Structure 1
C-alpha cells in the first residue's frame, strides 16, 4: 500500500536506475511487480470502480476510441492492458468471425477476470488471451491492423520501449490507439481534478474495494504521466506518423493515434 499524500507533494526525479511508482522512486526492476500487486488487489472490483470514479463517462471515452479505430471485418487487433475486456468486446464485434482480437495483459488476475467476463457474455470464437508485457510483446513483426492500450501506458516502466514494440507488431498502415488520463487544459479544472483524484479516489477505494493505497497510486500515476504533446512526440520517435490527439472531458483524458508507415 502507498502512503497517502497531498497533491502538493512533489515526486523526486527518477535516476538512471530508478523509475516512478506513483510519487515514489523504485528500482526499475521492481516496478512491474509492484504494479502487478496493485491490479491483483483491485481486479475483482475493477469494473465497479471504473463506473464510480468516472461516473460512467469511461464508457463514452472507450466508445469514441472504437469509432476512431477504423477496425473492419476480418482484421486482427491487439488490445494491450485489456483488463476486463471492454474494448476487446467491441473489437470482437467489429472484426467478426473472420477476424481475431488478442486481449493481452501483464496481470494474470486481470486477464482471468476479463476472460470470465467475456465468456459469460458469449464471446469465444475470435478472441485469444495472452499474458504479455507491453515492452516485450510476444508477437511477430507486422501482425496487427490495430493496437490499442487503454489506461495502461502510464503503468509501464519504459514507455518509449513499449511504444516501439507496439509499432513493431503493427502492419504497415496499421493504427496505434493510446487512451489515457492526461492533463486538463483549464487551470481551474486541473485543480478540481487534483482535489478529486487525491481525496475522492482513495476514499472510494477504501469504501468499495477495501484498498485506499492502490487508488492513491493510481491518482499519483496519472499525475506522473506525460502530457499530450510529450506523448505525441514519443509516438513520433517510436516511428509512427500522422500522430495526433483528441482531448476529452477537458483534457482529463486524451486519445492519441498514430499510423505505422
Structure 2
C-alpha cells in the first residue's frame, strides 16, 4: 500500500492543478517512516474549493512515541472537537490525555465529516484499535462536553467506562435556568482548561484556518514531535530534582532502603 502522506500530497497537487481529486483507502495501517505514525482510512471526493464527502470517516492519525508516553498514565481521555482548522470546514476531533507529570499528551486527531453518530463511531473504533494494538490497559474515565451524540457513542464503544462532563459545561447548562451569578464562586475545572489550552496551542501552530489537509497534517506532526521531545527533557530534569531532594537528612531512612534494593 502506498505511503498515505505522499498520496495525500499528490492528490493535493491534483486538486490545485486540475481542480478535482478522488481517493479511497480503508483500514488502519502504519506509515513507512520508522513506524512512528499510524493512519486511518478516508473516503473523499473534492471539486475545486468545495468538498463533497462520500464517506463518514475521513482521516485518523496518531504519533506512536506519544502513545508510549500515555501508556504510563492511561486513566483519562478527553474528547472535544474544534472548527476553523482547514479550508474544507471539516471538524477536527481532538483525543488527548494526561501524563504522569500532569501535562497534556496527544493521543490522536481525527478529521470527520460532521459531528454525527457514524463519524464518532468510526473515530472511537480507531481509538479502540489503537489502545488494543499498543497494550494500553482499560481506561478509567472519559471527559467531554455535553454533546449527546458523542456521549452515546462512548457508551457503546467503551461500555462500562464512566463518562464525565466538564464542570464548565454543566455550569453553562444550569445558568440557562438560573441566575448567572449563582456559580461565580466555582472556577472552571482542570479538564476544561486542558482542552481549551490544547485548542489554543493547536490553532497557533496551524497559523491559518484555510490550509489543505497536507499542510495541516504537516504542522500538527511538527508540533507533536517537539512536544514529545520536550516531555522527555522535562521528565529528566524532574527526576534529577527528586534525587536531590532525597539527599536531605529527613530522607536518610528512604535512601537506606534504596541502597539495600
TM-score of the superposed pair, with normalisation by structure 2: 0.26
TM-score of the superposed pair, with normalisation by structure 1: 0.26
RCO higher in 1 or 2 (8 Å CA, sep ≥ 6)?
1
